[in-house]
Amino acid sequence: FAKDWSQQFGFLGSVLNVFMGVFDGIWTAVKGVLSGVIDFVKGVFSGDWDRAWNGIKEIVNGVLDGIQKAFDAVSKFLKNIFTRDWSQSLGAVGNILNGLFKTISGVWNSVEKIFKGVISFVKNVFAGDWKGAWNSVKDIFKGVFDALVSIAKAPLNLIIGVINGLIDGINW
């Protein structure tokens, strides 16, 4: 599933990349859940409670890994939209969009950091890694504060976009 279809098909290829990434995430989750269920059932019926517990951990990790892969595919697509220089194709209006998308990109990066922190936290809790869980909590809060900073910068980015649009209009 790792092929980058956007090289051959442009925007439609980017959309295909998202669907393939989401499908890959779902497939990863299904494999992890099935493997975990098998280990859990074997552990329960054999009285091997460590194996049963490991089966539960496999189920949780499989679901979280699948969600992470699907989220990463969508995130890559959105980042390509947010980081593109829209002024090259839309002129002065593109400058305003660039300012807007810079804010959205900052917020999205923060949401991504929060999301990855939550997944990491759950994985670390199930693994018994309390230091890792604490670091995940710190990452979550850093993501929240980064989002607030991005939102606070929104008016400034919009003003910069408008000024760049006016300059492009004058130079045109």
Model pLDDT, residue 17: 81
124, 136 contact by CB (below 8 A): yes
Model pLDDT, residue 87: 77
CA pair distance 81, 61, nearest whole angstrom: 30
Distances in Å between the Cα of 63 and the Cα atoms of 117, 122, 155, 171 are: 15, 11, 39, 53
From 11, 10, 16, select the one nearest 1 (Cα to Cα).
16
> What pTM did the predictor assign?
0.73
Model pLDDT, residue 144: 94
Model pLDDT, residue 99: 82
Model pLDDT, residue 79: 83
Residues in the chain with pLDDT values less than 50: 1
- Beta-carbon count within 10 A of 52 CB: 19
From 154, 70, 83, select the one nearest 112 (Cα to Cα).
70
135, 62 contact by CB (below 8 A): no
Helix 92-127 with 130-171: angle, nearest 10 deg: 180
Model pLDDT, residue 93: 79
Model pLDDT, residue 172: 62
